[in-house]
């Protein structure tokens, strides 16, 4: 870390809001663009970078930074993006299990076997844009891996991730409006 960065960091540690605001304005747009390269979603990228800066400001007194501030900022945002993608993967696994159970349920189960609810789920899937619907069906109904889908459809892995993220959000919103079973929403 050069002397100028040490001075800036010391000022931020002293809770100098002007210096922090200057650093925020300088790095925020670049870090959002960087995060978008991982997440492929601008609002989520903005949330990640904002949470980084909030955390940085809140914990700056206890931070030990050995690299340049720029390197530190990019590494932290990269880690937050990777954590977000890991969390999405976990959510995907839960959604796959849930959807599989919804489509392979026994006749004795009443709530999940309600034809009205199943029809609402199918209708919500049908409302998705064509490519999004195809990717969603391949992932959650056919159980294909994201890599397989991207190769099969000749699109990037990022496109598959983005389409799945948006599909889950649209389905969650559609089911919230159309069904009284709030338990469905916890899996999307």
Taking only the tens place, the pLDDT of each residue in 143-152 is: 888 888 889 9
Q: Which domain holds residue 25?
A: 3-84
**Residue of 132 and 92 predicted with greater confidence:** 132
Clarify whether residues 26 and 66 are in a common domain. Answer: yes
Tens-digit pLDDT profile for residues 97-138: 556 555 554 443 444 556 777 777 788 888 888 998 898 888
The verdict on 23 and 66 lying in the same domain is yes
Shared-domain flag, residues 115 and 155: yes
Contact 185, 175 (CB under 8 A): yes
The token pair at 69 is 């501030």
Q: What is residue 114's predicted lDDT score, i.e. its pLDDT?
A: 63
The single-letter DSSP state of residue 28 is H
Percent of the chain scoring above 70 in pLDDT: 79
Q: Which of 55, 84, 113 is the last residue of a domain?
A: 84
Is 88 buried (19+), middle (13-18) or exposed (0-12) by CB count in 10 A? middle
Residue 136 is predicted with a pLDDT of: 87
Q: What is the pLDDT of residues 9-38, one digit of tens each?
A: 999 999 999 999 999 999 999 999 999 988
DSSP 156-177: -HHHHHHHHHHHHHHHHHHHHH
Please tell me whether residues 55 and 116 are part of one structural domain: no
């Amino acid at each position: 870390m050069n002397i100028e960065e040490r001075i800036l960091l010391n000022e931020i540690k002293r809770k100098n809001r002007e210096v922090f605001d200057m650093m925020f304005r300088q790095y925020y747009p670049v870090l959002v663009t960087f995060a978008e390269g991982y997440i492929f979603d601008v609002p989520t990228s903005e949330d990640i970078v904002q949470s980084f800066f909030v955390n940085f400001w809140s914990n700056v007194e206890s931070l030990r930074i050995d690299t340049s501030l720029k390197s530190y900022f990019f590494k932290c945002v990269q880690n937050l993006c990777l954590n977000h993608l890991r969390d999405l993967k976990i959510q995907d696994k839960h959604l796959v299990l849930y959807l599989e159970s919804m489509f392979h349920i026994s006749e004795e189960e009443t709530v999940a076997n309600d034809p009205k609810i199943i029809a609402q789920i199918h209708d919500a899937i049908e409302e998705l844009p064509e490519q999004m619907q195809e990717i969603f069906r391949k992932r959650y109904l056919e159980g294909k891996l994201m890599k397989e889908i991207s190769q099969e459809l000749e699109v990037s892995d990022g496109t598959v991730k983005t389409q799945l993220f948006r599909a889950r959000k649209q389905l969650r919103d559609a089911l919230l409006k159309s069904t009284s079973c709030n338990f469905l929403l916890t899996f999307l």
